[in-house]
A and B are shown apart, each in its own frame.
Chain A
Amino acid sequence: MGVFLFYLGIYAWKFKSMTMQTPKLSLRNVSKSFQSKGHEINVLDKLSFDVYDQDFVSIIGPSGCGKTTIFNIIAGLLKPDEGEIYMDGEVATGLRGKVGYMLQKDLLLPWRTVLQNVVLGLELRGTPLKECKDVAMEYIYTYGLAGFEHAYPKALSGGMKQRVALIRTLIYDPQVILLDEPFSALDYQTRLYLEGVLVEAVETFNKTVILVTHDIDEAVALSKRVVVLGARPASVKSVHEINIGQRTPIEARSDPNFSGYFHALCAELEIQTKVGS
């Protein structure tokens, strides 16, 4: 009997640890303030949220609420005043070199060709070009940039430049991909196309993604979960699970649940739908 209870205990413990997945990345009570003209501005106030493995989390919030500050803290470019960041359950002292990073600006080095830009991250790790050239060419080919490998970024269109930036991020094989409004400078068609490319790439390579955006539409269409932030100083207002079965962002937009999520998030952000009140 005792033995049976013992095994049951072990089984229960195992079962619990299986369901209680450790988050890939978690922020715990992260606060940050900046000095401006002599007085302090609180940007983040005890911010906490989790990102699971192969999660796609969007962070939305009113403009100027400190989304980019969160982004820079996760990227390891800013140190939080208080609070911790955990990666795989352990306190992460610096996430530099573990995260991929993509902004609205393509951030391609203008003096490097497409191929040289794509391998930048690997080069920083010390991989010689000879070793990663074939893989890089494969990516360039897959993402429709064949023939442009020796072109300079100046000769490419906006969408092509962002594709190069995406390849650079993917080939670097980071644990977490950080995206800060990566498509907001592109026209709508290119944007829909690149959203599709992104979602497909993320699924193929089993990536974990955090997307910072002001675009509710994009957040609902792409993510599995949406974190809504309040006005400055930002803290998490709510987290929404998005259950849309469709695979592509375009199909997701015609999903019957789409507009429900969209309006819920609009309401959450207190967006005025009527002029004057």
Chain B
Amino acid sequence: MEEAMGNTALCSAKRNGARSRSKLRLAIKGSMITAMVQLGIVGGVLAVWQWGVQAGIISNFLVGSPAGIFVKMWQAMLDGSLWMDTQTTLVEAIVGFLIGSLVGSVVGLSLWYSPIFARIVEPFIVAINSVPKIAFAPMVILWFGTGMISKIMLAVSLTAIVALIAAYEAAKNADHDLQALLLALGGTKHQIFFKVVVPSTLPAMISTFRINIGFGLVGAVVGEFISSSHGLGHMIFNASSLYDLNSVWVGLFALMFVGFVLYYVVDSIERYLLPWRQVEANQRLRV
């Protein structure tokens, strides 16, 4: 009897396996179609662009051409300058992003500990946030020189305040009933902080990190625009002052690629850190 039951269980497991495999196959097929359409769009735009330039409808001087961009990219890759510049900007953006997000999050979360202190500093935070942080750039360059440090600091100033506000808001909104439960079970404030407040802020914080990756790149590139000797911002700025639009495009595409990769890195970190959110996503109805 038991064996029979075991067999049925095995069969149903097999069936489930087969079903999920065919589901997987469908999903792969769907994503391949999506990717092909996306590639088609990119190819189409480039083809029309190239055709427009050759037909004389689009100015090669002011806009550049895909063929020219390709040549410039090839050259920059061969002489190693594209890699150098990308590396410089990437390091500036990532280090700035990491320091800014970390410091901002820690400060924002720690404001949860003292509501009185939080109330005192709140208007200052709002005031600092209302200034376009990019306006600090000239001052930051004066303070930290024309090297990498000033770009990192600029990225920090852009990302820290965003992370701080997001962390503080999320900590304030952490479920009060859960906090009451831990309190009733004899939990200390530290335990409530680490077991309820911090985990419940994680989803909001990771969304902020996604935005902050972009801000880190903005900080690095703007810093390079103002004064630098390396980096994609430097390359774009120089090329545009020489009316070398094809090189400008190379820099822009490199930035786009960097942003793209970093976005997906944050995405996979989210999957790793928040497995419980995946359950939710799987159960959601598709409309």
Contact = CB atoms under 8 A, between A and B. Distances in A.
Interface of A: 72, 75-77, 96-101, 103, 105, 107, 109-112, 120-121, 123-125, 151-152, 154-155, 172, 178
Contact of B178 (A97, A109, A121): A109
Interface string B195-229: 11001101000000000000000000000000000
Contacts of B275: 152
Nearest to B199: A111
A262 B280 CA distance: 42
A76 B187 CA distance: 12
Contacts of B202: 111
Contacts of A111: 199-200, 202, 274, 276
A186 B213 CA distance: 44
Nearest to A103: B177
Contact of A120 (B177, B185, B199, B200): B185
Contact of A97 (B185, B196, B200, B279): B185
A101 B199 contact: no
Contacts of A123: 195
A101 B280 contact: no
Given A103-B177, A107-B177, A96 B183 contact: yes
B276 A154 contact: yes
Interface in B135-187: 177-178, 180-187
A112 B279 CA distance: 12
A102 B23 CA distance: 40
A109 B177 contact: no
Nearest to B276: A152
Given A77-B180, A109-B196, A154 B186 contact: no
B280 A121 contact: no
Contacts, number: 63
B199 A155 contact: no
A236 B19 CA distance: 61
Contacts of B199: 109, 111
A101 B202 CA distance: 26
Contacts of B276: 110-112, 152, 154
Scoring B180, B186, B196 by chain A CB atoms within 10 A of each residue's CB, the highest score goes to B186
B279 A154 contact: yes
Contacts of A101: 181, 184-185
A123 B186 CA distance: 11
A100 B182 CA distance: 10
B114 interface: no
A266 B275 CA distance: 48
A152 to B, nearest CB: 4
Given A111-B276, A155-B279, A121 B185 contact: yes
A158 to B, nearest CB: 14
25 contacts: A75-B180, A77-B180, A77-B183, A96-B183, A96-B185, A96-B186, A97-B185, A109-B195, A111-B202, A120-B185, A121-B185, A121-B186, A124-B185, A124-B187, A125-B186, A151-B279, A152-B275, A152-B279, A154-B276, A154-B279, A154-B280, A154-B283, A155-B279, A155-B283, A178-B184
Contact of A77 (B178, B184, B196, B279): B184
Contacts of B177: 103, 105, 107
B184 A107 contact: no
B186 A124 contact: yes
A75 B283 CA distance: 35
